[in-house]
Chains A and B, each alone.
Chain A
Amino acid sequence: MSKIQIKEVYKIFGPDPKKAVQLLKDGMTKDELLNKTKHAVGVGGVTFDVKEGEILVIMGLSGSGKSTLVRCLNRLIEPSAGQINIDGVDIGSLNEAELRKLRQKKFGMVFQHFALFPHRTIAENAEYGLEIKGMDPQERRKIAIDVLAQVGLQGHEDSYPSQMSGGMQQRVGLARALALDPDILLMDEAFSALDPLIRSDMQDELIDLQDKVKKTIVFISHDLDEALKLGDRIVLMKDGKVVQIGTPEDILMNPATRYVEKFVEDVNLTKILTARHVMNKVKATGHIRNDGPMSALRKMRNNNFSKLFITRQDNTLVGMITAEKASEAQKRGDKDLTKIIEEDIITVTPDAPASELFEILHNLPYPLGVIDENKKLKGVIIRGTLLAALAEGGS
Chain B
Amino acid sequence: MDVNIPKIPIGEGVERGIEFLDSNFSFITKAMSKGIEAAIDVIIAGMTFVPPVLFILIVTALSWYLTRKKGVAVLSFVGLFLILNLGLWYPTLDTLALVLIATLFSMIIGLPLGIFAALNQTSYKITMPVLDFMQTMPAFVYLIPAIPFFGLGKVAAIFSTVIFSVPPVIRLTCLGIRQVPSELVEAADAFGSNPRQKLFKLQLPMATPTIMAGINQTVMLALSMVVIAAMIGAKGLGGEVWKAIQRLQSGAGFEAGLGIVIIAILLDRILQQVGRQRHEEVSKDH
Contacts and interface: CB of A to CB of B under 8 A. Distances in A.
A128 B183 contact: no
B184 A101 contact: no
Nearest to A103: B192
Interface in A161-200: 162-163, 176, 180, 186
A100 B194 contact: yes
Contact of B201 (A100, A131, A176): A131
A76 B190 contact: yes
Given A162-B283, A163-B284, A103 B186 contact: no
B193 A107 contact: no
A113 B182 CA distance: 12
A104 B181 CA distance: 22
A111 interface: yes
Nearest to A96: B194
Max count, chain B CB within 10 A of own CB: residue among A97, A117, A163: A117
Contacts of A162: 283-286
Contacts of A111: 183, 186-187
A213 interface: no
Contacts of B49: none
Interface string A66-82: 00000000101000000
A240 interface: no
Interface string B172-205: 0000000001011011111111100100011001
Contact of B192 (A113, A132, A160, A163): A132
B223 to A, nearest CB: 30
A8 to B, nearest CB: 24
Nearest to A106: B192
Interface in A5-58: none
B206 interface: yes
B197 A118 contact: no
Contacts of B194: 97, 100
A332 interface: no
A370 interface: no
A103 B284 contact: no
A131 B191 CA distance: 10
Give the bracket for the number of chain A residues in contact with chain B. Answer: 20 to 34
Contact of B186 (A76, A104, A117, A132): A76
A109 interface: yes
Contacts of B197: 132
A131 B181 CA distance: 21
B186 A101 contact: no
B21 interface: no
Max count, chain A CB within 10 A of own CB: residue among B190, B197, B285, B286: B190
Contacts of A117: 184, 187, 201-202, 206
Contacts of A101: 192
A76 B189 contact: yes
B206 A100 contact: no
B256 to A, nearest CB: 43
Given A117-B202, A163-B285, A104 B191 contact: yes
A129 interface: yes
Contacts of A160: 282-284
Contacts of A104: 191-192
A109 B191 contact: yes
A186 B190 CA distance: 10
A113 B190 contact: no
Max count, chain A CB within 10 A of own CB: residue among B193, B194, B202: B193
Given A128-B188, A129-B192, 20 more contacts: A76-B186, A76-B190, A97-B194, A100-B193, A101-B192, A102-B192, A103-B190, A109-B190, A113-B183, A115-B181, A115-B184, A117-B184, A118-B282, A128-B191, A132-B191, A162-B284, A162-B285, A163-B284, A176-B191, A180-B191
Interface of A: 74, 76, 97, 99-104, 107, 109, 111, 113, 115, 117-119, 128-129, 131-133, 160, 162-163, 176, 180, 186
14 contacts: A100-B192, A103-B191, A109-B190, A115-B181, A115-B187, A117-B206, A118-B206, A119-B281, A128-B191, A128-B201, A129-B192, A131-B201, A133-B192, A162-B283
Interface of B: 181, 183-184, 186-194, 197, 201-202, 205-206, 281-286
Which 10 residue pairs across A and B have the least CB separation, nearest first? A104-B192, A103-B192, A115-B187, A109-B190, A100-B192, A129-B191, A115-B183, A119-B205, A119-B282, A132-B193
